[in-house]
Structure 1
Amino acid sequence: MQSTVKKIEVNYNPINEQNTFTNGDVVCGEVRLEVAKTCEVDFLYIKFKGKAEVLWTERHGNTTHTYHSKDKYFSVRQYFVQDKNLKHGKQIQLTNQSSETYSNVLPPGIHVYRFSFQFPHQNIPPSFKGAHGKIVYLLEARLSRSLRMDKTESTKLSFVPRPDLSPASGVMTPQHESKDKKMNIFTSGTVAMDVQLEKSGFCQGEQLKVLAFIKNDSSREIKPKYCIYTKHSFFARGKRRLHCKDLIKEVGAPIAPCTSQNVTQVITIPREMEPSIMNCSIIKVEYRLRVYLDVKYASDPEIKFNIFILPAFGVPAAASAPPAAAGFGYEPFGNLTPPVWGVSSPPPPFAPQPSDPPPPYGAYGMYPPLNDFNNTF
């Protein structure tokens, strides 16, 4: 037996080659509904929402514990056919271009319902998918008919926020650290290193420059090594699930015994590397740079730096909303304010700022600490 509702689709119009959206961008699209024969609809709407969610299980003895948490950022609906069960004022009905309301009785054929929504300007995290959690932004259409199961269809949007370059973010803060170690047993003497970064935040595709002065007063050759690794943290019910992974490993030229050398290592941040996430209460994505000296038959002295990975893309101007969207604001979770169509404008596109010249080596402790990270990995 042929189904009355043959297909329901949600489509949107990409605004750039990367098919991404950022703060203030307008998402325009349409819901396409195909029915095989005349039918009556109780309600039809499109929902635009953003949320974070984590989920994992742990086995303790004979009991399995489930850890689950959600964080909602916004949710708004646009109705094409009103829900009669909702109280007056709790919904909005769209009209077509001729200002006639959409009928709840649909003849056979394809019916197209256009919509538009705007991403909030507020500070919300980027799209993300990890081992035990995700941050998603999606469009979801729902069709309801009497004595029938509701039909839903959804599509995800890729959201990349504008980088925060404010002084409070710490991304332009230089970093500096020193380390020395006395060798023993199979290796004699001492090794020392003085390492600095010109800043703390690096865009996808950017080069990270590590400046170091290394003094090898030991009896063996040493090699400087570099590792960038990530830490994914998921939080629920007072518990944390942690995943760490090495992403980039590089080795510098060896340094002979009883010599000192200035060393510069340039590490390219991959363009596909996920941005740091520090503004989500249940998911965090953090990065560290580990610089260490490989000494045979001895424990390796090391220095760790917290670094930020920032999104790098050409931020398009926010599209203006079509007339059909006028008056559709947000029903926020928190303190989001409704957008004013055609009035609000996004902040200027991100452009990396030139960093100040690096200070001389040996100025240990001259830089302010970074307070945005947990210093224990």
Structure 2
Amino acid sequence: MTIKCFSVEYNKMNERAAFSPGDTLSGRVIVEARKETKVQCLMVKAKGKAEVKWYDQDGQTSTLHQEKKKYFHLEIIILQDKNKCDGSEIIGQGRNVYPFTFVIPNIDMPSSYEGQWGRIAYSLNAKLTLSIWSIHKRKIEFPFLTKSDFPFASKSEMIILGLQEQQSATKMSFYGSGKVTLNVTSERTGLRQGETMQVSVEVLNSATHAVTPKFYFCEKQTFVAQSKTIVHINEILFGTGESVQAQTKRTIRNVLSIPSQLLPTFFNCSLMKLEHTIKVTLGDHMARDPDIKLPLVILLGSSKLHHKKAKESPETWK
């Protein structure tokens, strides 16, 4: 009970309060002791890793699918008892502050992410060992942003220009009483966090009953472990058009607004990826193949990201 408080902190370095490859991550370990205390070791680690985990259930049998990928693992030993008896392994009574600095490797790494069955996390881990019976641990995660504005493809001019161009697709849905033709158009393929754009659908209803188009924003999370893949899809309704009567034609428009805190599209992680699409559907069980989809790339916005407040906890040292 000689240690009253043990914590680890980091210094925010920019308006996004996030770090990127090549950045310097500095902070401090704070130890508050009730009396002068000898320690065996005080160390801090900076880590970046991706992890995927899910279970497949087949009757009474449950199969675990799990995979991890380490991006970096850096370690600094602040104090260590090497039997020198020079006082370097002594923590004084009261509040003691031990600064540290890491340089994050300048390599391609994905941004922080938490999905249905996987996450990409970057953290600081502090460990204070007094004896084999007395060990204190603390962990705090820090937000991380990839350096690439386009973490899904090369930064060629063709890619950049292509994201600004209008896109459209046409599909016919067949009923027993006729057919309905949908022509969906979006203002561009790439959209930044916090931006809006117009999505329109031209409906040519040659059937004998009215149809009503609906607009969805779709998020597709894909996770890979041990050569197995699992997918989670989330669909958000952002507009319902007016009914298009039989034997008529109408163009219906809706505005898609991307929240500033929505996670961008990414493909630069081997264990998981995040994709987005716009879906327009008639939502009619009588129709065959009633949906039409357009790809959408969500890009990092210019506004500040909304990160959850970091929580410090006595995590297991791994």
For the aligned pair, the TM-score class normalised by the smaller chain equals 0.7 to 0.9
Within the candidate set 83, 106, 109, 2:91 is matched to 106
What residue number does 1:76 align with?
Answer: 74
What residue number does 1:42 align with?
Answer: 40
1:184-223 correspondence to structure 2 within 5 Å = 184=176, 188-223=177-212
The alpha-carbon deviation at position 32 of structure 1 amounts to 0.4
What residue number does 2:56 align with?
Answer: 58
- The answer to whether the Cα contact below 8 Å between 2:175 and 2:286 also exists between their aligned partners in 1 is no
The alpha-carbon deviation at position 198 of structure 1 amounts to 3.5
- The answer to whether the Cα contact below 8 Å between 1:160 and 1:311 also exists between their aligned partners in 2 is no
Secondary structure of 1:122's match?
A: coil
Q: What is the rounded CA distance, in whole Å, between the counterparts of 1:253 and 1:59 in structure 2?
A: 43
Q: What is the rounded CA distance, in whole Å, between the counterparts of 1:152 and 1:301 in structure 2?
A: 55
Secondary structure of 1:309's match?
A: strand
What residue number does 1:95 align with?
Answer: none
| Inter-CA distance 189–80: structure 2 relative to 1 (3 Å threshold) | same
- The answer to whether the Cα contact below 8 Å between 2:122 and 2:141 also exists between their aligned partners in 1 is yes
Within the candidate set 130, 134, 142, 1:157 is matched to 142
- Give, as a single letter, the amino acid of the residue that structure 1 aligns with 2:213: P
Percentage identity across aligned positions? 31
The alpha-carbon deviation at position 9 of structure 1 amounts to 0.6
| Inter-CA distance 257–62: structure 2 relative to 1 (3 Å threshold) | closer
The alpha-carbon deviation at position 121 of structure 1 amounts to 4.2
- The answer to whether the Cα contact below 8 Å between 1:179 and 1:193 also exists between their aligned partners in 2 is yes
What residue number does 2:268 align with?
Answer: 279
- The answer to whether the Cα contact below 8 Å between 1:220 and 1:296 also exists between their aligned partners in 2 is no
- The answer to whether the Cα contact below 8 Å between 1:191 and 1:217 also exists between their aligned partners in 2 is yes
What residue number does 2:310 align with?
Answer: none
CA deviation profile, 1:328-369 (whole Å, cap 9, x unmatched)? xxxxxxxxxxxxxxxxxxxxxxxxxxxxxxxxxxxxxxxxxx
What residue number does 1:145 align with?
Answer: 130
- Give, as a single letter, the amino acid of the residue that structure 2 aligns with 1:268: S
Comparing 61-70 and 16-25, the one that deviates more: 16-25
CA deviation profile, 1:166-197 (whole Å, cap 9, x unmatched)? 2458644653321123431xxx3332122233
- Give, as a single letter, the amino acid of the residue that structure 2 aligns with 1:233: T
**TM-score with structure 1 setting the length:** 0.69
Q: What is the rounded CA distance, in whole Å, between the counterparts of 1:192 and 1:283 in structure 2?
A: 35
What residue number does 2:30 align with?
Answer: 32
- Give, as a single letter, the amino acid of the residue that structure 2 aligns with 1:44: L
Number of aligned residue pairs: 296
What residue number does 1:324 align with?
Answer: none
Structure with a larger share of its residues in strand: 2
| Inter-CA distance 278–39: structure 2 relative to 1 (3 Å threshold) | same
Within the candidate set 173, 189, 201, 1:181 is matched to 173
1:243 and 2:228 correspond: no
- Give, as a single letter, the amino acid of the residue that structure 1 aligns with 2:65: Y
| Inter-CA distance 118–262: structure 2 relative to 1 (3 Å threshold) | farther
Q: What is the rounded CA distance, in whole Å, between the counterparts of 2:56 and 2:87 in structure 1?
A: 50
- The answer to whether the Cα contact below 8 Å between 1:49 and 1:138 also exists between their aligned partners in 2 is yes
Secondary structure of 2:270's match?
A: coil
Gaps of 5+ in 2: 306-318
The alpha-carbon deviation at position 120 of structure 1 amounts to 4.2
What residue number does 1:264 align with?
Answer: 253
- The answer to whether the Cα contact below 8 Å between 2:238 and 2:256 also exists between their aligned partners in 1 is no
The alpha-carbon deviation at position 204 of structure 1 amounts to 1.7
- The answer to whether the Cα contact below 8 Å between 2:81 and 2:89 also exists between their aligned partners in 1 is no
Q: What is the rounded CA distance, in whole Å, between the counterparts of 2:296 and 2:6 in structure 1?
A: 44
CA root-mean-square deviation: 2.9
Q: What is the rounded CA distance, in whole Å, between the counterparts of 1:166 and 1:223 in structure 2?
A: 40
What residue number does 2:65 align with?
Answer: 67
Q: What is the rounded CA distance, in whole Å, between the counterparts of 2:263 and 2:209 in structure 1?
A: 39
- The answer to whether the Cα contact below 8 Å between 2:260 and 2:303 also exists between their aligned partners in 1 is no
Q: What is the rounded CA distance, in whole Å, between the counterparts of 2:81 and 2:212 in structure 1?
A: 69
Q: What is the rounded CA distance, in whole Å, between the counterparts of 1:120 and 1:270 in structure 2?
A: 31
Q: What is the rounded CA distance, in whole Å, between the counterparts of 1:193 and 1:61 in structure 2?
A: 43
- The answer to whether the Cα contact below 8 Å between 1:161 and 1:311 also exists between their aligned partners in 2 is no
Q: What is the rounded CA distance, in whole Å, between the counterparts of 2:14 and 2:218 in structure 1?
A: 30
CA deviation profile, 1:191-227 (whole Å, cap 9, x unmatched)? 2122233332222221132233332223222222111
